[in-house]
């Protein structure tokens, strides 16, 4: 299997999800296009959590949706295990895609307001015929609710508007898990929740992934959230991958100027490594995805930018095992033994 320069490659693990050269563009009228995702690739190993990090508008949610083919990318390939999802007939795609579930950003709008919780959870097994004996229906629903920390007797007969945002997100997680997926795509699952509830949902996702050996793609714009829940982090900017690195020690080893800028947004604590201040980044408006900069797309905000950055797009190169960076000038921040 050939992986492009834009791919994220874990080592020595079987692959659960693979994407190569994803391109997603949206029409914007008058012959113009929004370049949402431009040649992104990634790999997620079995049991691994890959975090996708970046500012709003960087294309991270579009990547997540293209992985599950909602909608399919304009070009590129997505493989779930050994099955290539791109190009499948609709019926075959629906069946293959049942092995991969998505948790949306807004848990309330993701649930049908007319249906009770018990019906929302049973919808997937009912459609795919995996419900088994209907006498076990209530037992399976109750077990799924308990797994996500909900009291079945309290919530199973309720509708979404009768639940809090955190409870709705737990229902969304339970619904996704009812089909025993191999891959879970989490599209900013805690951004609309209170901070205390965020911690509960993150702990739940992490424990569930570990218990079920799930692979996860976790999408968020919060650096600390992505760092804490992920095994590896993929940083995106304006539809491109800037850097891919292990989350452990990320604050010490991040080398791309954009990743360093994101880390600088975190509250400082005594003994923290030196990071660039946001003020060190040249004042400039965010480029438009309708007309992204030539070469390196971050160059208009980068303190290291030169003429080379304008004329040539930097390839995603490996600077340490498991650590890749797309920058002409950034160097490793410390040597590995």
275-314 pLDDT tens trace: 554 445 555 577 899 999 999 999 999 999 999 999 999 9
Q: Please check the confidence at residue 33 and state whether its pLDDT lies above 50.
A: yes
Q: Please check the confidence at residue 264 and state whether its pLDDT lies above 90.
A: no
pTM for this predicted structure: 0.89
Q: What is the pLDDT of residue 6?
A: 44
Mean pLDDT score of the chain: 88
Query: Range with the lowest mean pLDDT among 105-109, 149-153, 318-322, 333-337?
Result: 333-337
Q: First-to-last CA distance in the chain? A: 30
What is the C-alpha separation between 209 and 213, in angstroms, rounded? 5
129-188 pLDDT tens trace: 765 666 688 999 999 999 999 999 999 999 999 999 999 999 999 999 999 999 999 999
- Rounded mean pLDDT, 67-88: 94
- Rounded mean pLDDT, 248-254: 91
Q: What is the pLDDT of residue 170?
A: 94
Q: Are 7 and 42 in contact (CB under 8 A)?
A: yes
Query: What domains, with CATH codes, occur in the chain?
Result: 15-99+181-325 (3.40.50.300)
Element (H, E) at 176: helix 165-177
Q: Please check the confidence at residue 208 and state whether its pLDDT lies above 70.
A: yes
């Amino acid at each position: 299997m050939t992986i492009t320069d834009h791919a994220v490659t874990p080592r020595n693990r079987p692959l659960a999800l693979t994407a190569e050269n994803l391109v997603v563009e949206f029409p914007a009228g008058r012959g113009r296009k929004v370049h949402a995702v431009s040649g992104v690739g990634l790999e997620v190993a079995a049991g691994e959590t890959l975090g996708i990090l970046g500012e709003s508008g960087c294309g991270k949610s579009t990547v997540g949706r293209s992985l599950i083919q909602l909608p399919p990318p304009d070009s590129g390939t997505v493989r779930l295990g050994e099955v290539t999802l791109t190009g499948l007939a609709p019926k075959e795609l629906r069946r293959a895609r049942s092995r991969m579930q998505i948790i949306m950003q807004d848990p309330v709008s993701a649930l049908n307001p007319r249906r009770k919780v018990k019906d929302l959870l049973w919808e997937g097994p009912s459609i795919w015929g995996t419900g088994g004996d209907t006498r076990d229906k209530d037992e399976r629903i109750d077990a799924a609710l308990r797994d996500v920390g909900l009291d079945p007797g309290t919530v199973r007969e309720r509708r979404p508007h009768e639940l809090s945002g955190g409870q709705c997100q737990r229902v969304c997680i339970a619904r996704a898990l009812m089909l025993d997926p191999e891959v879970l795509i989490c599209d900013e699952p805690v951004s609309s929740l209170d901070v205390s509830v965020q911690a509960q949902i993150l702990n739940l996702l992490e424990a569930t992934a570990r218990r079920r050996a799930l692979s996860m793609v976790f999408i968020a714009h919060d650096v600390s959230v992505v760092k804490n829940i992920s095994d590896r982090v993929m940083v995106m900017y304006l539809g491109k991958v800037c850097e891919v690195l292990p989350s452990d020690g990320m604050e010490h080893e991040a080398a791309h100027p954009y990743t360093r800028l994101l880390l600088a947004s975190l509250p400082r604590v005594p003994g923290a490594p030196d990071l660039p201040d946001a003020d060190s980044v040249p004042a400039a408006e965010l480029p438009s995805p309708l007309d992204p900069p030539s070469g390196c797309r971050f160059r208009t905000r980068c303190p290291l930018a030169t003429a080379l950055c304008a004329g040539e797009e930097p390839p995603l190169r490996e600077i340490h095992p498991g650590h890749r960076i797309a920058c002409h000038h950034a160097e490793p921040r410390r040597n590995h033994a």
